[in-house]
Structure 1
Amino acid sequence: MNGQIDVVEALLNVRGHMLIQPNTHDTVLHAAISSQQPEIVLLILRAFTHLIQSKNVDGSTPLHWASQCGNLNVVKLLMEYAYEEDLITLIEDASTRFSYRFVADVNALDSKCRTALYLAVANSHFDVVKYLLE
């Protein structure tokens, strides 16, 4: 994608494009995150919001990829985007003293049992680590 927003916008208007790579199960959202361009990630999120919950064959979610790449703006976009209610999971403790809602599970494990936080730490992305811990 190389940051070419106009090209991405044009491709989104073409029917029949592939959302998921058949061998790796990487999605167009994974690819957008690799571009490190928040504008491209936003275009893809608007068109295919449901892909936020996808995993590739390695169990990596879009949040795993964003944390590993280390672009704080992309991580924030994935975490703070205004998702539709049907994509949001509600978690409550047994005492119902607290609850939280999420779309991108920060505690999700990939096939090597790594979380998004682990990947941010392992790749020395301090600003992403700090954000995920807040």
Structure 2
Amino acid sequence: MRMNRELFEALESGDVANIQRLHRQNSHVLLEVTFQGDTSLHIAAREGHLPIVEWILRVKPSLAGARNKDRNTPLHEAAKCGNRELVRILLLRKTNSAYYCNMFGETALIIACRYGHVETVRLLLETRSYNDLGEMRRSFRVAAHGRYPDVAKAILQNPIKPQLFRRLRLVLREWDTYEDVAKNVLHKFTELRRRTTIFHNLYDAVHGGHPEIVEAVLNSPAWKDHLMTKEDIPGTWTCAIHEAAILGRWDIINEFMSRWPHCVEIRSSDHKSVLHFAVEYNQFEIVRNLLLIKSPRKVIDWVSRDHDCFYNTSLHLAAKNGVDPQV
């Protein structure tokens, strides 16, 4: 049943009285969902409205495990919001929701790491009755990408199989900030190649904007393996050239192409090309330069017929995202 607009606005604004009035008029109103499959509890958790969340859990406790179209639970939304008390309440109602993964393979812990909510991360680590080492490593890597050293330290302080985290701790001893690590990567390139759980060398060099590290990796014999490095979410990935397009780094893309001209044809897990990413992130210079290197016939195919897994061409993405008219 589709959620009526009055309930949606009340949930977003935190109007408890109006929500309770609508519930008195229709006892099933809290079971209505939005077009994205969000329940009333998803919305209240996303907005950080603790009193509403507590009331909904008393009235409709089954919603604690509800999933939307992205398979996010209310706990996923609360972890993104970063409200520690809200996460605690949801965990008390449904503890095993801490282990639920969304369609991108992310638990609430990984999402909390992505947004740098250190107190929420600590709570989730304390709550879990067992620990998945693979998830801990993914969480650590997400914290590293987001440049959240406090979150990374919280993960490593979690008392799980310390011997398996020895390599991570060795890096953390030298890590005051992400920039300090990046500055030393060039000198420790051989050593860091063995630490792929933290740094996927080429991808992270592009992401951090370190052209000297990119050059060092490209001069190594197996640089194509680094170009194809996967992202941390199981089943979904992009590679270094996609990250360069997102950041508008034509100099890095050009460097890749000088060694491997067809690298612009590499697809992400959702079948997006470099052009798709450049259009989606409004990188006009990248779009222009990519189109200039193609023949007119290839340009037509690339722009109007070449689609991702959702059947969006570059033109669809340009229209959908309202990008700069130049693009």
Which structure 2 residues correspond to residues 27-46 of structure 1 after superposition, within 5 A? 27-46=39-58
TM-score w.r.t. length of structure 1: 0.77
Which structure 2 residues correspond to residues 8-23 of structure 1 after superposition, within 5 A? 8-15=19-26, 16-17=28-29, 19-21=31-33, 23=35
- Is 1:52 matched up with 2:64? yes
1:92 is matched with none
2:137 is matched with none
- Is 1:106 matched up with 2:98? yes
Asked which structure has the greater RCO (Cα within 8 Å, sep 6+), the reply is 1
- CA distance in 1 between counterparts of 2:20 and 2:45 reads 16
- Is 1:115 matched up with 2:107? yes
Structure 1 residue 22: Cα displacement: 5.1
Q: 1:18 to 1:133 in 2, by over 3 A?
A: closer
Q: Which structure has the bigger radius of gyration?
A: 2
Identity over aligned residues, as a percent?
A: 31
* Alignment: residue pair count: 114
Q: Out of 48, 67, 74, which is 2:86 matched to? A: 74
Structure that is richer in strand per residue: 1
- CA distance in 2 between counterparts of 1:80 and 1:11 reads 27
**RMSD value over aligned CA atoms?**
1.6
Q: Which runs of 5+ in 2 are unaligned?
A: 1-10, 127-327
Q: Secondary structure at the match of 1:106?
A: helix
Partner AA of 2:36 in structure 1: T
Q: Do 2:46 and 2:80's aligned partners in 1 also have CA atoms closer than 8 Å?
A: no
TM-score w.r.t. length of structure 2: 0.33
1:98 is matched with none
1:3 is matched with 14
Q: Out of 115, 120, 123, which is 1:128 matched to? A: 120
- CA distance in 1 between counterparts of 2:77 and 2:53 reads 12
